[in-house]
Chain A
Amino acid sequence: MVHRHGAKAHRFGIWTAIALVLLLATGSAAAEKSWEQILAEARGQTVDWFMWGGSPAVNAYVNGYVAPRVKELYGIELRQGPVKDIAEVVGKLVIEKQAGKHTGGHVDLMWINGENFRTCKRNGLLFGPFARRLPNQRFVDWDRPSVANDFGEPVEGLESPWGSAQVVMIYDQARVTDPPRSIGSLLEWIRRNPGRFAYPAPPDFTGSVFVRHVFYHLNGDIGRWQGGYSRDDLQAAADRTYQTLRELAPSLWRGGKTYPESPVRMNALFADGEIDFAFSYHQAEASRNILDGLFPDTVRTYVFDEGTIANTHFVAIPFNADASTGAMVVANFLLSPEAQLKKADPDVWGDFPAIDPGRLPAEWQARFAARPRGPATLTDGELQARQLPEPPSEILIHLEKGWERHVLKGR
């Protein structure tokens, strides 16, 4: 009796062990495909990469450089899907998830960050985590707050960095000789020179980053706003911001009765001499605009002494991507020193590296240091020494909504 029971237990044990081994084997094979396996699987895939398509420079970099290179190196067909706003694609993914389309999606890679990333992450629309499995992620400094967190939302390997952006002030040294070097002195300058400054109306992204600078300026200790603040703290700090912006409005372009609807419009006003400053969330946009003949040659940029807001932009893979391995290979190529250096060339795009040049081999470090920068662009050192993190999306949305109610409608 005891014996038979023992035999049964024994047999049961064997089957469990076999099942466990099988489970572990298949499980680890799925989760831990080697990079060589991924490369082999990706060969011959077509990767559809959806992104904002409003910049000829970015489009030319993607279609004229990245696509032929990944074809040549990895046998991947890369197709760009240019859109007006990547949120349209995120909306499409939400519907596909609802409709139960869990495989065979035609969006393989998306260029996103911030609120779109948050929407994707919260709704389970992303494949991964995959970012830490890319060999080239060793060049990324994941300890930098602006890389580990995307607008206060932990990245957790669900997207791979592509580039970084930082706000710079733009002025024409032929017109303004001594630009105000802090947010406080800029506000003062605006009051003394009525009608000569404008910012795009939030929720435009560039306009809303101006509001966040004022928010930081009025409410001290920036670290506090990364998290761990109370609802009341935020409300009080936001109210102070609206108060200041309301009082500033009569000194703005057209008395603050109307705002430029986009940075493009602000740049046009600046180029036409109607206002004396523009600002950009792109370190090299001014140089680019000089090259393209949109700005005069005498335009320069600077950052505030206390710093300007910076963030990282990423690529992510949707949950139902048809070519997820191909998309990983493309994401890895985007992080390569070769691709990052090409992207940083102001004649190409001038986007700043997502990788930390200090982590590269000496030869590549030298090439990054020696890259042509464009007449109006600051050095990496000047920029990186003065960076402020973005607050969480929650604060961003709060300020955008509040601005409309309390500043635009003036209550």
Chain B
Amino acid sequence: MKRSGRFSAAATILAAVGLPFATLGLWSLADRWFFPGLLPQSWGLRAWSYILTSAGGQVVNALWQSVAVAAVTAAAAVLVALPAARALGLYEFRGKDPLSVLLTLPIIVPPLSVAMGLHLWFIRMGLAETFIGVVAVHLTFCLPYAVFVLWGVFANYNPDFESQARSLGASRPAVWLRVMLPMIMPGIVVAGLFAFLLSWSQYLSTLIIGGGRLITLPVLLFALMGSGDRPVAAAVSLVFVMPAFVALLFSARHLGGRSLAGVR
């Protein structure tokens, strides 16, 4: 009874997550698929041959650009967010509430205005159309999430463990590396994953700040997703989702129930 219940729950989850992808897979392999047919009337590789051959070079370049930008953005987001979240989570100080509102601003203000406004400054500072500039503009959107995730972790964090280690003679770096880091690791993974995925899907800000220099996957592919050529749109969506999915799987072992305990 209990086993079958668990089985049906697992099946439901699998179907809910898997079915949309199954449709994408079917569409990407369809040659003709008209209304009454439950399955495509004929199959073909037109969409995949476009993605892999005609646009293959562009896709591979864009894939690397995206991975590089998203990875650097995620690392930077965690590094910057860590001290901020520790302060917010462990200490009480004046102006904490206004500060948290300020932190969410880049998410609340429309991304177009943020990117357009920053563009003007980035040109003056020589950051426009550079890798650093694109990472910086992605950070404005990723940092709030990273800070809030880690803030939750530190709110449930007991600094007494650190004092204990100190009293037993551990150096400050050793305390960070061997006490704090293992305890907040799940939070770091979640924060990094959030930042990675957000950066991964940035379109407009990459286009405006990156100009012609940085063509990431969204810049290359988003136009095709709305093109109405369903097989190509489906194949493109799969190409776009897969690496993000791999990142998710990679971090999945850190995402057990216990790991999320600290996340509010």
Contact = CB atoms under 8 A, between A and B. Distances in A.
B138 to A, nearest CB: 17
B32 A63 contact: no
Interface stretch (B116-124, B142-150, B248-256): B116-124
Interface stretch (B8-16, B156-164, B185-193, B213-221): B213-221
Interface stretch (B76-84, B95-103, B204-212): B204-212
A355 to B, nearest CB: 26
A297 B50 CA distance: 23
B35 interface: yes
B218 to A, nearest CB: 10
Interface stretch (A87-95, A219-227, A326-334): A87-95
Interface residues of B, number: 39
B116 A95 contact: yes
B54 A64 contact: yes
Most buried by B among A81, A264, A293: A293
B259 to A, nearest CB: 37
Given A56-B54, A82-B223, A84-B223, A95 B119 contact: yes
Contact of B223 (A53, A99, A262): A53
A321 B215 CA distance: 18
Interface stretch (B65-73, B166-174, B227-235, B239-247): B227-235
Contact of B211 (A60, A64, A92, A98): A92
Contacts of A48: 212
A76 to B, nearest CB: 15
Contacts of B213: 106
Contact of A292 (B46, B203, B219, B222): B46
Contacts of B227: 54-56, 264
Contacts of B223: 52-54, 82-84
A203 B24 CA distance: 29
Q: Interface of chain A, helix or strand or loop or mixed? A: mixed
A402 to B, nearest CB: 26
Interface in A35-66: 48, 50, 52-56, 59-60, 63-64
Interface in A175-210: none
B205 to A, nearest CB: 11
Contact of B123 (A60, A95, A292): A95
A120 B147 CA distance: 41
Nearest to A91: B116
B115 to A, nearest CB: 10
A53 to B, nearest CB: 4
A272 B54 contact: no
The 5 A-B pairs with the shortest beta carbon distances in the complex, nearest first, are A264-B228, A293-B32, A53-B223, A54-B227, A106-B212
Given A83-B219, A293-B33, A293-B46, 6 more contacts: A52-B223, A60-B50, A272-B34, A293-B31, A293-B44, A294-B229
Interface of A: 48, 50, 52-56, 59-60, 63-64, 79-84, 88-89, 91-92, 95-96, 98-99, 101, 106-107, 262-265, 267-268, 271-273, 292-294, 296
5 contacts: A48-B212, A53-B223, A56-B224, A88-B204, A293-B42
